[in-house]
Structure 1
Amino acid sequence: MTDTTAMFWPMIAHAVLVFILYILLSTRRMAAIRSGGTDPRQFKENLSEPAESLLVHNNLKNQFELPMLFHAGALALFINNADNIITITLAWIFVISRYAHSYVHITSNRLQLRRPLFIVGLFACAAMWGWLAVWLATS
């Protein structure tokens, strides 16, 4: 439907979030080591995460769960020429919700805020897949 690569920008924005989280995780782990609260050998098998980096570690793992469906769906929409202004908007809603969810997760970690942000992203991703199903069924 679109002859542009606009669907790739939300995907790139999500990748940037993942890179930011990796940098933050490394920074917090190094701070835990420097403070003497964590032995660097702990990361060899990483059976436990220091409190300073636990929330970032958990959030980073979240970026490889639902977002994998997002990336697969975005690529499928693009490949099938099923992307349009609505699906691109849904993709941006998904990514913005992931940034907001990550912020809440690694700061206050308040579930009353995190859960609704997750649900917004879930519905945006599901709507993208729903449109893809409609597109394929009617093409």
Structure 2
Amino acid sequence: MSQTAIFWPMIALTFLIYCVYAVLFLRRRQAVLTGQASARDFKLPLKEPEVSVATVRNLTNLYELPMLFFVVCLALYAVNGATLLAVVIAWCFVATRAIHTFVHLTSNRLALRQPIFVLSFILNGALWVMLALHLAVPPVV
């Protein structure tokens, strides 16, 4: 397996972030068209329309834990540690973030979101442990 395989989950997560931006645009546009907000309200959004508030919060979430994911993936690539297991875990992380986003933008049920978040947190931590082990244990020559 090529080390560059670690970039595909990163690309997929970036695509998810762009999709959430698109949803945010559409929901804010809907708020303006239905009179819930004016375009001026978004100049310095101190109050978010109800229709888009969960989307804004989800977008914020996608700039928290996923940033650690991007860093660890780049680090694994840089030190030649992007193993098949690391790539599989990376894909699982992306899947959990996509499911979390879906729940957040639809039912927004915390009872569903929280265990998904915990799983993504554990998967991200596993990648960091893999990086640390790769750095700590010298390769067999």
Does TM, scored on the shorter chain, surpass 0.5?
A: yes
Unaligned runs of 5+ in 2: none
What is the aligned partner in structure 1 of residue 123 from structure 2? 124
1:78 aligns with 2:97: no
What is the aligned partner in structure 1 of residue 57 from structure 2? 58
Paired with 1:65 and 1:25, the residues of 2 have a C-alpha distance of 18
Paired with 1:62 and 1:3, the residues of 2 have a C-alpha distance of 30
1:1-139 pair list within 5 angstroms: 2-139=1-138
Count of aligned pairs: 138
Secondary structure of 2:4's counterpart equals coil
Maintained 8 Å contact 2:3/2:83: no
Paired with 1:95 and 1:89, the residues of 2 have a C-alpha distance of 10
Q: Which has the higher mean CA deviation after the structures are superposed, 91-100 or 37-46? A: 37-46
C-alpha RMSD of matched pairs (Å): 0.8
What amino acid does structure 1 have at the position aligned with 2:81?
Answer: A
Identity level (%)? 42
Paired with 2:90 and 2:69, the residues of 1 have a C-alpha distance of 8
TM-score (norm 1): 0.97
